Structure 1
Amino acid sequence: MNPVLTIAGKEIRDSLRNRWLLMISLILLVLSLCVSFGGSAISGSLDMPSVGSLLSGLVTLSVFLLPLAAILLSYDAFVGEEEAGTLLLMLTYPVTKLEMLLGKFLGHISLLAMACLLGFGPTVALLLVATKLPAAEVLQAFGHFIASGLLLAMVFILLGYLISLSVREKARALGALLFIWFLVVLIYDLALLATVVALADVLSRQTLNLMILANPADIFRALNLLTVDLGPQAGQSALAALSQTGLGLGSLYALMLCWVLALLAICQLRFVRKTL
């Protein structure tokens, strides 16, 4: 059997055994249902929202949760194996470091894809049953949402690998990655908004676009702004307004793929140079 598929299967089995997939899927399912009914419940009804309103809530939810789930899945991918003494043992088998890296990556992104389908799938089914919207429109919108979400997760999985390959203790890896998550997902956008307010007269749109495209979380948000009208609340959001880069769907997807490929190359380089 292909070593990449063998390692991917091992990662999937390990996560199924420790209930990781079940826990993440349940969290995504509960929160997506809360997003679906929460807004209408405030007004005293339980009506399904429009596709745009629902995606607006899910994008806001996912930009925090998917990177965090990716970090928790990948932070000990290599340092954990090294602490247990199994990393060196695995490399004594006829498997290269690149095959090991790709196998772990394939296994982890497959787990997150399953978690997204199990977590968000019932919400999509409810939307289709409860409304008369064309199925093609709903499925296309959610297809873009899932695809862009998985690309965002890939970036943070690879960041997890990079840190895991660079430290000697799992606790340090987790601490460093949570700090990166905090900076990228929370602090960066707040700093960006403050910069726009403070330098509104001198900051050009091109400079602002470059600042947005330097953050994969903002690219994820911009991708979903392009695929569907996210509703009046999203339209009035300062972050949503900032995420309107003027680039097309293909360009934004290409940028996310560049992030993934660049990080994959850096991880491979770090793995090759790592002394065991």
Structure 2
Amino acid sequence: MENLLLIAFLDIKESVRARWFIVYTLVFGGLIALFFIAGVTESQVMGFSGLSRLLLMYIQVTIVILPIFILITTVRSISGDRDNHILEYMLSFPISLPQYYWGKIIGRFTTVFLPVFFAMILALMIGTIKGANIPWNIFLLYSGLLFALSAAFLGISFLISSIVKSSEVALGLSFFVWIVLLAFIDIALISLMMQQRLSEEIIIAISLINPMEIFRVAAISLFDPELTVMGPVAFYILDNIRLSLFIVFSIAYPILLGLGFAFFGFTIFKKTDLV
């Protein structure tokens, strides 16, 4: 346990010193500051105002930025150590493979989740100073969604990093995964739906496998409980799943998905050549 925490601490320390962490923190903190400067909390659109509208805008931007930031900063975690011969050096100490692997995951999760979480806390603090009402239900839901989305893409990143030995290949593969989940799945499913090659139930079920799609639907659900902006996806969800149950699913599923990818990555990691 001590070695596990030591590896996590070293990874956190290394990440904090890196330039990507500074940029990563400034991006999300800067978004909150920019929204306040732009007067987002003082305007009203479609009935949304104050911190509720700010958090809605923040979460919509985060769904695009957060996954790619996690992928490009984490996908080289193990492959980079292998390229720089740090992995060989670390394993020369009395550190087991599980301690190294899961310690890296704990440390990297801390550095990718806390900045986005603290950015929301910053928004609540500034909003409180300005006398705005605090939407605690939205804050708690978004905290859970960000935690789940971070876990999902962290697991994907470590799986890629365990499979691919070259950092350049790992980086390219991470961009491919992000593009597929962000755009290609929706485009392909819409095309299949228009051509009616698959039933609507199958198409909707495939779309809900995508953690980014789950995140988007759950994020909108508090503002639009009937999910009218989601089109046919909303009707399928509301006809088959209670909204409260879907929110629980939207948090539990990405976490379990990330853990599954992480365990699969560890299985590959311990069976392949380490140096």
Distance 1:265 1:120, change over 3 A: same
User: Counterpart in 1 of 2:139?
Assistant: 142
Query: The residue matched to 1:165 in structure 2 has which SS?
Result: helix
Which segments of 5 or more consecutive residues in structure 2 lack a partner in the other structure?
none
What whole-Å deviation, never above 9, does each CA across 1:69-97 have from its counterpart, x for those lacking one? 11122121111111111112212222221
User: Counterpart in 2 of 1:71?
Assistant: 71
Is the Cα contact below 8 Å between 1:63 and 1:185 reproduced in 2? no
User: Counterpart in 2 of 1:252?
Assistant: 250
User: Counterpart in 1 of 2:121?
Assistant: 121
Amino acid at match of 1:185: L
Is the Cα contact below 8 Å between 2:149 and 2:255 reproduced in 1? no
2:156 matches 1:159: yes
Is the Cα contact below 8 Å between 2:50 and 2:132 reproduced in 1? no
Distance 1:86 1:173, change over 3 A: same
User: Counterpart in 2 of 1:217?
Assistant: 212
Distance 1:56 1:194, change over 3 A: farther
Is the Cα contact below 8 Å between 1:152 and 1:216 reproduced in 2? yes
Give, in whole Å, the separation in 2 of the partners of 1:27 and 1:243: 36
User: Counterpart in 1 of 2:262?
Assistant: 264
What whole-Å deviation, never above 9, does each CA across 1:147-200 have from its counterpart, x for those lacking one? 211221222122221211222221111011111111112222233333334439
TM score, norm. by length of structure 1: 0.83
User: Counterpart in 2 of 1:17?
Assistant: 17
Is the Cα contact below 8 Å between 1:219 and 1:243 reproduced in 2? no
Query: The residue matched to 2:164 in structure 1 has which SS?
Result: coil
Give, in whole Å, the separation in 1 of the partners of 2:177 and 2:141: 26
RMSD: 3.1
- Aligned-residue sequence identity (percent) comes to 19
Query: The residue matched to 2:49 in structure 1 has which SS?
Result: coil
Query: The residue matched to 2:94 in structure 1 has which SS?
Result: coil
Shift of 1:261: 2.0
Is the Cα contact below 8 Å between 1:222 and 1:243 reproduced in 2? no
User: Counterpart in 2 of 1:82?
Assistant: 82
- Aligned residues, how many? 266
2:199 matches 1:203: yes
Query: The residue matched to 2:77 in structure 1 has which SS?
Result: coil
TM score, norm. by length of structure 2: 0.83
Give, in whole Å, the separation in 1 of the partners of 2:165 and 2:231: 41
2:2 matches 1:8: no
Amino acid at match of 2:218: L
Is the Cα contact below 8 Å between 1:25 and 1:118 reproduced in 2? no
Give, in whole Å, the separation in 2 of the partners of 1:168 and 1:256: 26
Shift of 1:98: 1.5
Distance 1:149 1:40, change over 3 A: closer
Amino acid at match of 2:162: L
Shift of 1:35: 4.5
Which segments of 5 or more consecutive residues in structure 1 lack a partner in the other structure?
none
What whole-Å deviation, never above 9, does each CA across 1:37-88 have from its counterpart, x for those lacking one? 65859x89xxx93454333322221111111111122121111111111112
Amino acid at match of 2:273: T
Shift of 1:257: 2.4
Which moves more between the two structures, 111-120 or 168-177? Answer: 111-120
